[in-house]
Amino acid sequence: MSLEGKCHCGAVHFTLNENFAQIAACNHSICHRLGTLWGHGPIENLAISANAGTTPRYSRGDKNMALHTCKTCGWQPIGKI
């Protein structure tokens, strides 16, 4: 099953081809503050469509994880480890 959607402002579109077995809350400080829930799966199963520079990367500390957020509305479609 495929799920398609977009961020609140419409700048970022996504197609997800993954049926997550679990959705999890995370104890990263930023995830905790935002109330983010994560589904884990192969990155190949997520297609993001956005203009260059629309989803700037944010990482901190040991930089082993990067978050990409819509710079207009703040929607956070992806975190890469």
**Applying CB under 5 A, which of residues 9, 24, 25, 47 lies at the interface with Zn ion?**
9
**How many angstroms from the chain centroid is the CA of residue 65?**
11
Q: Pick one of 16, 70, 76, 77: the residue that binds Zn ion (CB under 5 A).
A: 70
Closest distance between Zn ion and the C-beta of residue 54, in Å?
A: 8
Give the DSSP letter string of 9-70.
Answer: TSS-EEEE----S-EEE--SHHHHHHT-EEE---GGGEEEE--TTSS-EE--TT---EEE--
CA distance 54 to 14: 13
User: With CB under 5 A, what is the number of residues at the site for Zn ion?
Assistant: 7
> Using CB under 5 A, which of 45, 65, 72, 78 touches Zn ion?
72
> Whole-number minimum distance, CB 68 to Zn ion, in Å?
11
Residue ranges in contact with Zn ion by CB under 5 A: 7, 9, 11, 70, 72-73, 75
